[in-house]
Amino acid sequence: MLLPLDDKILKEGFWKHYLVTVDHGPRIRLPTPMISTLEDEGIKQIVVFPDPYGRRLIICPDKFYDQYVKMVIGDGKISLRPDKAYRKFLCAAEPITMRKPCRIQLKVKFNEKLGIKAGDGVIIVRVSYWFEIWRKDDWESDNDNKS
């Protein structure tokens, strides 16, 4: 699958990221530029689910969710049959309707993946047509992100 590239992405770079502080709940308020990007694309609903490959969450616009799941299932790293893997994604996902101010309430199943509390910092990273939520410490210590 090809990444949906345009002049804006090439100009701004592939790894657009935002530092966000976790609210009580815990909740994560999506940054204004991210909400604007989603609104510009006509996104009314996002899907949040644990990343199968690491300690982070994925935020995917609903219209790209099936593409994302097929890409992950098709990459050969998952040993489950595609139909079982797809069901696991569906069970893990939480659809969220976009309303201002857009906040993601972290369900217990999500917070078990991240392990964050109010006052912690998280990094939201744009990766093609989806976003990843990383604990700030994990983002800074990941080998791919070292300067």
Quickly list DSSP for 85-99: HHHHHHHH-EEEE--
- With contact defined as beta carbons under 8 Å apart, do 31 and 20 qualify? yes
Q: What is the CA 8 to chain-centroid distance, rounded?
A: 20
Helix (H) or strand (E) holding 72, with range, is helix 62-74
**Percent residues over pLDDT 90 in the chain:** 10
Euclidean distance between CA atoms 95 and 60, whole angstroms? 9
List pLDDT tens digits, range 119-134.
Answer: 999 999 888 788 999 9
- How would you class 73 by CB atoms within 10 Å of its CB: exposed for 0-12, middle for 13-18, buried for 19 or more? buried
User: Can you give the pTM of this predicted structure?
Assistant: 0.78
List pLDDT tens digits, range 28-75.
Answer: 888 888 888 888 888 889 999 888 778 889 999 988 888 888 887 777
Who's near 82: CB < 8 A, 6+ residues apart? 73, 74
Residue 20 phi, psi (nearest 5): -130, 140
- The CA-CA-CA angle for residues 29, 108, 128, to 5°, reads 50
List pLDDT tens digits, range 89-145.
Answer: 777 888 888 877 788 888 887 887 788 888 999 999 888 788 999 999 888 887 455
DSSP letter for 142, please: S
Q: What is the CA 130 to chain-centroid distance, rounded?
A: 6
Which among 112, 1, 102 is positioned nearest to 49, based on CA atoms? 112
Who's near 99: CB < 8 A, 6+ residues apart? none
| Domains in the chain, CATH or no CATH each | 15-142 (3.40.1550.20)
